[in-house]
């Protein structure tokens, strides 16, 4: 049947959302429509119409992502990608991906990012794993710190209304020092503080604490829930850390120490944490901190090689030439020479002899420093043509912090 692909109009929003959620076999409630519309960009939507009905969807948010430096890079946050169950295996997803990536590149964004519902899907469109997340668990009674951190400030418990006024600014300062973190818009914060019942899964509404440094500046916050469980009058409650961000190490340590000292808890869990989470090294008995999950989070897809490579800073100087294969957008591929001086890169395209051969997926995975070129080579994904090139590329792209994103979209 004939189909049409185009951005939706405002009056088509509810049908678009129902189609997007329907592709994941999810129902849409009235509050879902309100929440999802808050920061949705109508002009960045794409829908496949068949006989006047939406059968496929894709959208994007205009985001800012921290890259090594730290610097800020404008990226497209790809979301709501799906095809309803009755219309799969007809090429709609591929068509949506191609049109969307073309649109993103035309907007001047050098990179697209997304959260993959299925990890086997997006590699064929040029995406690679850019950040990894962990989930942690510990019995707080065994969470004593090896050394009491020197803290000139204090942790304060605040109301949701108070948190609404101060947390977004703390987050923005904190996330700008962490490669991989993306900004949160005002409307997305409004949705965050609605704290819907369906987000709690049997736990409490959020509690909020902030860290006030000695200079009276608020330098960190933690949003958490309590899941109560009393067995024969004995508390076996769980404190669930949902969001813990800090603009300095003192605030980070203080907030973790607070979470490990709340009374009546036998378990503390934390989701969306970095792979180099320093709390493990703060503990007197680090083995007690269990990693209960380790997996991919942000997937990235470079669309403008010079634009992306020149946007971040590098740990050393030197030159490396890439031969990049791009199976989905062949015009993005080619040979690129990157020369770094003073931490800044200049990139040119030409007919150079390559040092390394790889796909756009793997360059995108290595971009934030989360994947080493030498590791990718051991996996058979990168080929070294010039001896020493892998070591040089590893050094150039290394980051002093593991890339990490605490924000879903």
What pLDDT score was predicted for residue 248? 96
Q: Got the DSSP string for 258-323?
A: HHTT-TTEEEEEEEEE-TT-THHHHBSSGGGSEEEEEEE-EEEEES-HHHHHHHS--SS-EEEEEE
221 is catalytic: no
Residue 241 has pLDDT above 90, yes or no: yes
- My answer on whether 368 and 253 are in the same domain is no
Structurally, the chain folds into a number of domains equal to: 3
Range of the domain at 354: 304-397
Q: Supply the DSSP string of 44-95, one letter for each residue.
A: G-EEEEETTEEEEEEEEEEEEEEETTTEEEEEEEEEEEEE-GGG-SSSHHHH
> DSSP secondary structure string, 116-175?
-SSTTTGGGGT-EE--EEEEEEE-GGG--BSSPPP-SSEEEEE-HHHHHHHHHHHHHHHH
Place of tokens 């200079």: 215
Do 154 and 259 have their domain in common?
yes
| pLDDT score for 390 | 98
Q: Is residue 405 part of a domain?
A: no
pLDDT digits (tens, 9 = 90+) for 119-178: 999 999 999 999 999 999 999 999 999 988 778 999 999 999 999 999 999 999 999 999
Question: Is 123 a domain residue?
Answer: no
Query: Active site residue: 16, 224, 258, 409, which one?
Result: 409
Confidence tier at 2 by pLDDT (50, 70, 90) = confident
Q: What token pair was written down for 247?
A: 């603009």
Of the listed 61, 122, 221, 322, which one is catalytic?
Answer: 122
Same domain, 76 and 156: no
Residue 47 confidence (pLDDT) above 90: yes
CA–CA separation, 339 vs 316, rounded Å?
A: 11
For residues 49 and 103, membership in a common domain is answered with yes
Structural domain contains residue 77: yes
185 and 74 within one domain: no
The model's confidence at residue 233, banded by pLDDT at 50, 70 and 90, is very high
pLDDT given at position 332: 96
Mean pLDDT of the residues in the chain: 97
Residue 50 lies in a domain: yes
Where does the pLDDT of residue 291 fall: very low under 50, low under 70, confident under 90, or very high at 90 and above? very high
Res 151: pLDDT: 83
- Domain edge (last residue) among 237, 269, 294: 294
What is the CATH number for 60? 3.40.630.30
DSSP string for residues in 180-248: T-B---HHHHHHHHH--GGGTTTSPPPEEEEEE-TTS-EEEEEEEEEE--EETTEE-EEEEEEEEEESS
What is the mean predicted confidence (pLDDT) over 88-117?
A: 97
Q: What is the model's pTM?
A: 0.95
Q: How far apart are CA 63 and CA 71, in angstroms?
A: 13
- Claim to verify: residue 318 and residue 221 sit in the same structural domain: no
Whether residue 289 sits in one domain with residue 194: yes
> Residue 397's pLDDT is what?
98
- Final residue of a domain: which of 294, 322, 346? 294
% of the chain at pLDDT higher than 90: 98
Alpha-carbon separation of residue 294 from 30, 262, 311 (angstroms): 34, 26, 29
Residues 287 and 311 placed together within one structural domain of the fold: no
Tokens of 370: 């989360």
Residue 127 appears among annotated catalytic residues: no
pLDDT of 150: 79
pLDDT at 1 over 90: no
């Amino acid at each position: 049947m004939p189909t049409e692909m185009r951005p939706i109009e405002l009056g088509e929003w509810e049908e678009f959302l129902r189609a997007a959620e329907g592709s994941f076999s999810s129902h849409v409630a009235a509050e879902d429509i309100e929440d999802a519309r808050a920061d949705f960009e109508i002009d960045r939507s794409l829908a496949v119409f068949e006989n006047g009905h939406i059968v496929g969807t894709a959208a994007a948010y205009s985001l800012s992502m921290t890259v090594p430096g730290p610097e800020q890079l404008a990226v497209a946050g790809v979301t709501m990608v799906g095809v309803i169950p009755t219309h799969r295996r007809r090429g709609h997803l591929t068509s949506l991906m191609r049109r969307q990536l073309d649109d993103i590149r035309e907007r001047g964004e050098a990179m697209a990012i997304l959260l993959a519902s299925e990890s086997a899907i997006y590699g064929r469109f040029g995406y690679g794993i850019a950040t990894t997340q962990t989930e942690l668990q510990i019995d707080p009674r065994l969470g004593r710190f090896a050394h009491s951190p020197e803290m000139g400030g204090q942790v304060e418990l605040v109301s949701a209304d108070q948190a609404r006024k101060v947390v977004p600014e703390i987050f923005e300062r904190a996330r700008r020092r962490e490669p991989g973190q993306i900004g949160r818009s005002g409307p997305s914060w409004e949705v965050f503080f609605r704290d819907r019942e369906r987000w709690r899964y049997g736990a409490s509404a959020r509690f909020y604490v902030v860290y006030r440094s000695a200079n009276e500046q608020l330098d960190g916050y933690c949003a958490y829930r309590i899941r109560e469980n009393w067995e024969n009058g004995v508390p076996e409650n769980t404190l669930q850390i949902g969001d813990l961000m800090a603009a300095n190490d003192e605030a980070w340590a203080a907030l973790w120490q607070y979470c490990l000292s709340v009374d009546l808890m036998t378990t503390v869990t934390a989701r969306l944490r970095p792979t180099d989470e320093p709390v493990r090294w703060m503990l007197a008995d680090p083995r007690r901190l269990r990693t209960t999950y380790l997996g991919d989070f942000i997937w990235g897809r470079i669309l403008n090689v010079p634009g992306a490579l020149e946007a971040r800073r590098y740990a050393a100087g030197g030159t490396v030439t890439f031969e990049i294969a791009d199976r989905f957008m062949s015009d993005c591929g080619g040979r690129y020479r990157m020369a770094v001086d003073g931490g800044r890169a200049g990139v040119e395209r030409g007919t150079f002899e390559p040092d390394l051969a790889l796909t756009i997926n793997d360059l995108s995975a290595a971009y934030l420093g989360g994947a080493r070129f030498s590791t990718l080579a051991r996996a058979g994904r990168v080929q070294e043509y010039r001896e020493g090139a892998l070591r040089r590329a590893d050094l150039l792209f290394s980051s002093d912090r593991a890339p990490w994103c605490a924000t879903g979209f």
